[in-house]
Amino acid sequence: MKREISGWFSPALGKEMPIVTYGHYGFALLLVPTAAADYLEYERFQLIDALSPFINAGKLKVYSINSINNESWLNNNMMGEHKAIRHNQFNDYVHNEVVPFIKNSTSWDTPLIISGASFGALHSMNLFLKRPDLINGVISMSGVYDLSEYSKGFFDDQVYFNSPVHYVPNLNDQWYLDNIRRSQHIHIVTGSGAYEDPGGSSKFSAILNSKHIHHDLDVWGHEWKHDWPTWRAMLPAYIGNKF
């Protein structure tokens, strides 16, 4: 498998941000880490190995980036307002820097799907919903879609506008709705085992249904808990069956 690490100084974040690429051809899959993890997390926990048959066959080309959650919502020493500012800077980094990097290393016609597990699922869904013209779909695994679960009681407009369960019910802008509805790949997947929250996924699915947004809600059984063996099974299953 072709593997390449690169990066650049991010104007949005004001720091060096690495990115790792796996593969040579296929649609682009952008992975967003869990919690405060780094760009090599999905490799370290063997999820890249689980995807290797598809990568080696040229079905997809995978990109993985760093999180900055430890500089925002997971940093207990920051004020809520500053956490929100950093979160928005991360959104800008992905939309205005990472997406063009991916497009320039594939093509501007290559489909781009974003995916993440746990906190990465919330980020992935939010990044897709905010720029459905740039990102063509999302596979969210074991997520909650309520940012206030992470904001420790802080709530302002910026939490609201990055919390899909809050802003999607009031989303009436036809440009956004048309572009979101155009996607054939909005997949919400969760287990029902320890530390999973299938109720959170079902709640967000109901919101999408209320907006006539086609998507998959897939709730796996109680043997699937909030951990890497679950995600190593989920993501290859979706790549194999839905793409």
Q: What DSSP string describes 126-152?
A: HHHHH-TTT--EEEEES----GGGTTT
Tell me what pLDDT residue 242 has: 84
Interatomic CA distance for residues 101 and 39, integer angstroms: 15
Tell me what pLDDT residue 121 has: 98
pLDDT > 90 in the chain, percent: 96
Q: What phi and psi, each to the nearest 5 degrees, are found at residue 39?
A: -70, -15
Mean pLDDT of the chain: 97
A 10 A CB-CB count for 175 gives 9
Is residue 228 over pLDDT 90? yes
Is residue 230 over pLDDT 90? yes
Q: Mean of the pLDDT values across residues 8-36?
A: 97
Q: Is the distance from CB of 98 to CB of 62 less than 8 angstroms?
A: no
Q: Mean of the pLDDT values across residues 10-22?
A: 98
Cβ neighbours of residue 111 closer than 8 Å, sequence gap 6 or more = 27, 28, 136, 137
At 27, the pLDDT band (50, 70, 90 cuts) reads very high
Tell me what pLDDT residue 144 has: 94
Q: Is the distance from CB of 124 to CB of 140 less than 8 angstroms?
A: yes
Q: Does residue 98 sit in helix, strand or coil? A: helix
Q: Which two tokens stand for residue 56?
A: 């080696």
Assigned CATH class of 3-242? alpha beta
pLDDT tens for each residue of 202-211: 999 999 999 9
Interatomic CA distance for residues 133 and 12, integer angstroms: 20
Q: Mean of the pLDDT values across residues 28-56?
A: 97
DSSP letter, residue 170 = G
pTM of the model: 0.97
Domain boundaries, the chain: 3-242
pLDDT tens for each residue of 63-122: 999 999 999 999 999 999 999 999 999 999 999 999 999 999 999 999 999 999 999 999
